[in-house]
Every structure is written in C-alpha cells, then in structure tokens.
A = this chain, B = another copy of it.
C-alpha cells in the first residue's frame, strides 16, 4: 500500500538525503512542498491523504478540516505542541513524531559538558596549546562513586543513567513511573525531594508542559547539597531562576546548562558572570548521527503506518 498524495509543510529538499527521498517516494505516489502560509495550501490539501510538517510548523484545526482524506500526519521533530492533536484524533488521523532520535546525542553531550567542568578542560587546553607539558597543579573531581540523580528516566534520562553507571557513579532516579528493568540493573529509585538532597550531580529530563513549569522551585533548589552540580538540558521554565541565581552567586552549587529562549536576559547576564556556570547554546541534540536517525525514523514511521503498525504514535 502507498499514500496517494503528500503535502509537506516546512520540510525542504535538504531535510532528507537523496537516498531517503527515494525511500519516501517509494511510499508516496506524489508529493507537494508548500509554504504554510501559501493561499493555495487548502486546495492542495483537498486530495491529500498524508501531511508532513517540520519543527514549529503549525497544523491547526482549519488545516486538518481542509483535508477530508487525511489519514496520517508525520512530524519531523520530537515536539508536537504546534499540532492540534486532539482535533486530529477526533478525525481518526494518526500522528507520529521522531521521538528519541537525539537521545544519544544529548546524553553524550551532557557527559562531555560535565567532565569538561569537573576537569577544567578549557583552562587545561589553553595551557596545553601554550606548551605546558607537565602537571599544572590543578586538581579535578571524579564521577566515580558520586551520587548521580536523574529526574525523568525516559529516552534521554535512561541513557544518561546507563552511561553514568559505566563511570561507576551511584545512579539514582525519580520518574513518574517506576522502571523495574532499570532498577534491576542497580539504578535506585528515590522520591524527588530525597533525590535532590542526596545528589552530587543532578540532571533533569522531562518535557516542558504546564505540570513541569517551576518544578525546580525555590524549596527544591534550596535542598541541593553544597557543592552539587545541576545540569539543565530542558526548558529554563522548569526552574525558579531567582532562587537558582541566589545559590549560584553564593558559590554553593554549579550550573551547567543549555541556554534557551525561555531564559530571561537579566538572568542569563547574572549567570554568564559566574565561574560556577557553564553555558552552552542549544547544541546537545545536534550530531550527524542524530540527523541521520531523524530521517530514518521519519520514513520508518510512514512505512510502519502503511503496514498497519504505526510507530512513534503520539495520539
């Protein structure tokens, strides 16, 4: 079975490799790429049975209603809050995203950033490049044996926990649901507040929604150990940034994070001055391997839907 006609919104020719476009074309008879604001969009949607959109490209109720034959929406991203999921569901349309394509990339970046800080690689590299060929007197810290707390043991958090175990850390977690398989491998469950207060290194991996905004409130930030390292590769809206700035400016904890658009500029400026902050752009997800995986998951989803076994279904 094949789709008859695909409409692509915000997915350019460069989004897929030549090889992946051939796979796409083997699954879809015809494809039309169109700008989301093109007045001809609704006309193109009339006979479309599948729709694909890129990160942040809205698929509203009206768009869905303009496509009476629509059976499938494929999102070329992990996030899906820009698609009217409920309305699509009410019409019996399947929606798949490319969840998990960047889990490995984020988890590996996190350990790079953590060790970079614990061993002062930036400072060390400068000396190395200048020709220092002996020990320069700086002592680092080790991961082994440290209490490593993961809040949210999903795709990314799960990989972070496994890698931390490889380093010999004492890995503990809290997640909405218990993970018996991970527990059987020695990753210990603790309740949130205990976990926060026990962790030498604390990292959060859950999605950004109304329930998780301000999860790390002043009380929880206050529970972190002196000397602990907090890692943030999720939205800054999860954190009480004032409470965080208070502890950071006293030098009590360290903050390693991806900056994002939710970080107030005044907060960023406070953090940027502090030695105990290591700040990165939103690069953790971006590897060659993740980009390739995103494409193959995107196409596998189409293939699986057509075979009657939808994958990465979000509705």
Interface size on A, residues (CB 8 A): 59
Is the beta-carbon distance between B280 and A134 smaller than 8 angstroms? no
Q: Residue-by-residue, is A260-277 near B (CB-CB < 8 Å gives 1, otherwise 0)?
A: 110100001000100000
A288 in contact with B134 given A112-B112, A125-B280, A128-B280 (CB within 8 Å): no
Is the beta-carbon distance between B104 and A138 smaller than 8 angstroms? no
State A135–B278 Cα separation when bound (angstroms). 16
Is the beta-carbon distance between B259 and A143 smaller than 8 angstroms? no
| Chain B residues whose C-beta falls within 8 Å of the C-beta of A124 in the assembled complex | 280-281, 283
Is the beta-carbon distance between B109 and A115 smaller than 8 angstroms? yes
* Interface presence of A186 (CB below 8 A): no
| Chain B residues whose C-beta falls within 8 Å of the C-beta of A132 in the assembled complex | 259, 281
Q: Residue-by-residue, is A117-155 near B (CB-CB < 8 Å gives 1, otherwise 0)?
A: 011011011011101111110111111110000000000
| Chain B residues whose C-beta falls within 8 Å of the C-beta of A167 in the assembled complex | 108, 111, 163, 166
State A285–B118 Cα separation when bound (angstroms). 13
| Chain B residues whose C-beta falls within 8 Å of the C-beta of A128 in the assembled complex | 258-259, 278-281
State A122–B122 Cα separation when bound (angstroms). 6
Is the beta-carbon distance between A131 and B286 smaller than 8 angstroms? no
* Interface presence of A246 (CB below 8 A): no
Work out how many copies of this chain go into the complex: 2
* Interface presence of A105 (CB below 8 A): yes
Which A44-68 residues sit within 8 Å CB-CB of chain B?
A: none
Is the beta-carbon distance between B109 and A140 smaller than 8 angstroms? yes
* Interface presence of A287 (CB below 8 A): yes
State A116–B162 Cα separation when bound (angstroms). 20
Is the beta-carbon distance between B289 and A119 smaller than 8 angstroms? no
Is the beta-carbon distance between A115 and B119 smaller than 8 angstroms? no
| Chain B residues whose C-beta falls within 8 Å of the C-beta of A281 in the assembled complex | 124, 127-128, 132-136
State A140–B102 Cα separation when bound (angstroms). 12
Is the beta-carbon distance between A142 and B111 smaller than 8 angstroms? no
A122 in contact with B119 given A105-B142, A144-B289, A163-B166 (CB within 8 Å): no
| Chain B residues whose C-beta falls within 8 Å of the C-beta of A168 in the assembled complex | 104
Q: How far is the CB of A76 from chain B (nearest CB, A)?
A: 15
Q: Name 9 interchain pairs, CB-CB below 8 A, sorted by A.
A: A108-B119, A112-B118, A116-B121, A122-B125, A124-B283, A125-B278, A128-B259, A140-B287, A142-B288
Top 10 closest pairs, chain A to chain B, by CB = A166-B166, A112-B115, A128-B279, A133-B259, A128-B280, A132-B281, A142-B289, A140-B287, A136-B281, A163-B166
